[in-house]
Amino acid sequence: MRAFYTSVLLCLLSVSGCAGVTSAGEAARFDPDQPTVLITGSNRGLGLEFARQYAALGWNVIATCRRPKAAAELQMLAAQFDRVAIEELDVTLDRDVQRVAEAYAGQPVDVLLNNAGIYGNLEKQTLGSFDYEELKRVLDVNTIGSLRMSEAFLGNVQAGRQKKIVSLGGGMGTPTIGSMFGGHYFMKMSKAAHISAMGTLQKDLEDTGIIVTMISPGRVDTQMLKDSGYTGKSISAEESATLVIEMIAKLKPEMGGRVILYNGRTIPW
């Protein structure tokens, strides 16, 4: 019965916006023979690197970010590659997500990359100085934002050939890694809830061929790592994105609903 509801839902999602709609992707001269990736938070850090590398691989790239006008490096990428379309999208805003989902209705998406994320202020997530408004902000972006994106673009992913929904990170949300050190509550909580949401989504979609997974990109030298207070060894965004993209290409159905490292090792719950 659940499979029936899922297939009806996916039909409705894909039919609702197909014929007659000029997608923003067409405006960016997407090649229908090439796969398509949709990335959140693609103005900097890992998101920008994913956009660059997928564009260089010949993919159609729907590169979303909160402030396209301020995204100089992304604008340069779009000027270089016809198949990069930039869309304004804040993952915490229903109206943004719906607007972009409507613009791309009928556009197959092979990989939905839930990359946008925030660490949250460290002091505000330290015992003795908790700020629950900050907790809500972190959950809003990291957990709710990714679920909102996954639901809104489900029909697009179902229409894609590769059918993958990938969220970045998750290691800190597992007891295996999260319990190795104290503090950092909000980040850990947001990723734990994210893992739960993605695992449940995978269960709901098990008869659709869609793979839902979380990939931990390692410790990557981006603004987020600075926000975490970590000062040890890290890898570059370029190196990490290459490994994650290779991992995405190798994803298998049995990896669905799990948190895996960029090298393919499963992080135990």
Ligand X SMILES: NC(=O)c1ccc[n+]([C@@H]2O[C@H](COP(=O)([O-])OP(=O)(O)OC[C@H]3O[C@@H](n4cnc5c(N)ncnc54)[C@H](OP(=O)(O)O)[C@@H]3O)[C@@H](O)[C@H]2O)c1
Which residue blocks in the chain are alpha helix, DSSP H? 2-15, 24-27, 45-56, 72-80, 94-103, 132-139, 146-152, 154-159, 175-178, 185-204, 223-228, 237-250
Complex with ligand X: residue 43 or 202, whichever CB lies closer = 43
Taking the least distance from each CB to ligand X, the nearer of 16 and 223 is 223
Segment interacting with ligand X, rule: CB under 6 A, options 155-163, 215-223, 243-251, 257-265? 215-223
Q: Does 247 bind ligand X (CB under 6 A)?
A: no
Please report whether residue 178 would count as binding ligand X according to CB under 6 A: no
**Residue 45 lies near ligand X (rule: CB under 6 A):** yes
Q: Under the criterion CB under 6 A, does residue 242 sit at the interface with ligand X?
A: no
Say whether residue 168 binds ligand X (CB under 6 A): yes
Q: Which is nearer to ligand X, 233 or 250 (CB)?
A: 233
Contact with ligand X (CB under 6 A) among 220, 241, 247, 251: 220
**Does position 35 bind ligand X by CB under 6 A?**
no
The only residue of 120, 169, 199, 257 in contact with ligand X, by rule CB under 6 A = 169
* CA gap 95, 180 in Å, rounded: 39
**For the residues of 2-45, what is the DSSP string, one character each?**
HHHHHHHHHHHHHHTT-TT---HHHHTT--TTS-EEEESSTTSH
Q: Residue 173, interface with ligand X (CB under 6 A)?
A: no
Distance between first and last Cα of the chain:
29
Query: Is residue 141 near ligand X by the rule CB under 6 A?
Result: yes
Q: What is the token pair recorded at 168?
A: 């970045």
Contact between residue 96 and residue 89 where contact means Cβ atoms under 8 Å apart = yes
Q: Does 99 bind ligand X (CB under 6 A)?
A: no
Please tell me the distance from the alpha carbon of residue 269 to that of residue 266, in angstroms, as a whole number. Answer: 9
262: left (phi over 0), alpha (psi -120 to 50) or beta: alpha
Residues that bind ligand X (CB under 6 A): 40-41, 43-47, 65-67, 90-92, 115-118, 141, 145, 168-169, 216-217, 219-220, 222-225
